[in-house]
Amino acid sequence: MSSSCSPTADSTFPCHQCGLCCQNVHLSRETQFLDRGDGTCRHYASDTRTCAIYADRPDICRVDRMYATRYVRLYSWSEFVALNLQACAALAALPGPGGQPEGKAVFRK
Ligand code: SF4
């Protein structure tokens, strides 16, 4: 990846680590392959509420990589972040368990 395609170092996606994207992979064609059968990702560790393969998670789970490889010519980084945050808000607005954040970090720092 060339540096010209990468977000700048200070442009980290503002993930609030709610875990809703990991618990609703059935809602996107691009993440359905991760569905363990109930809409939650097969790599989502329910006991610790974290990603069990975080270091090796697929590109679709990496906002910065998806931007650099697919969307850099379509959006600015701030526009792309805003679009992703709209998706976060839509997940949070879902009724029932899918829209109820579990309140713990999904991603290990
Ligand atoms: S970050 Fe990990 S747990 Fe979440 S959807 Fe991606 S692979 Fe699954």
**pLDDT digit string, tens, across residues 59-100:** 999 999 999 999 999 999 999 999 999 999 999 999 865 555
Is 9 strand, coil or helix? Answer: coil
Q: Are 22 and 38 in contact (CB under 8 A)?
A: no
Q: Could you give the CA distance from residue 87 to residue 93 in angstroms, rounded to a whole number?
A: 10
Domain assignment present for residue 49? The answer is yes
Total domains in the chain come to 1
Ligand 1 binding pocket includes 53 (Cβ within 6 Å):
yes
Domain assignment present for residue 17? The answer is no
Give the model confidence (pLDDT) of 43-55 as tens digits: 999 888 899 999 9
Ligand 1 binding pocket includes 25 (Cβ within 6 Å):
yes
Ligand 1 mean position, distance from CA 61 (Å): 6
Q: Closest by alpha carbon to 96, among 39, 44, 58, 13?
A: 39
Domain assignment present for residue 16? The answer is no
Domain assignment present for residue 74? The answer is yes
Q: Of all atoms in ligand 1, which is nearest to the CA of residue 60?
A: 6
Angle at 2 between CA 76 and CA 70, to 5 degrees: 45
Ligand 1 mean position, distance from CA 79 (Å): 23
Domain assignment present for residue 2? The answer is no
Domain assignment present for residue 3? The answer is no
> 47: buried, middle or exposed (CB in 10 Å: 19+, 13-18, 0-12)?
exposed
Nearest CA to ligand 1 atom 4: 22
Ligand 1 binding pocket includes 105 (Cβ within 6 Å):
no
Is 45 strand, coil or helix? Answer: strand
- Provide the residue range defining the domain that includes 86: 22-99
Domain assignment present for residue 65? The answer is yes
Give the model confidence (pLDDT) of 12-55 as tens digits: 899 888 999 999 999 999 999 999 999 999 999 988 889 999 99
Q: Could you give the CA distance from residue 68 to residue 72 in angstroms, rounded to a whole number?
A: 5
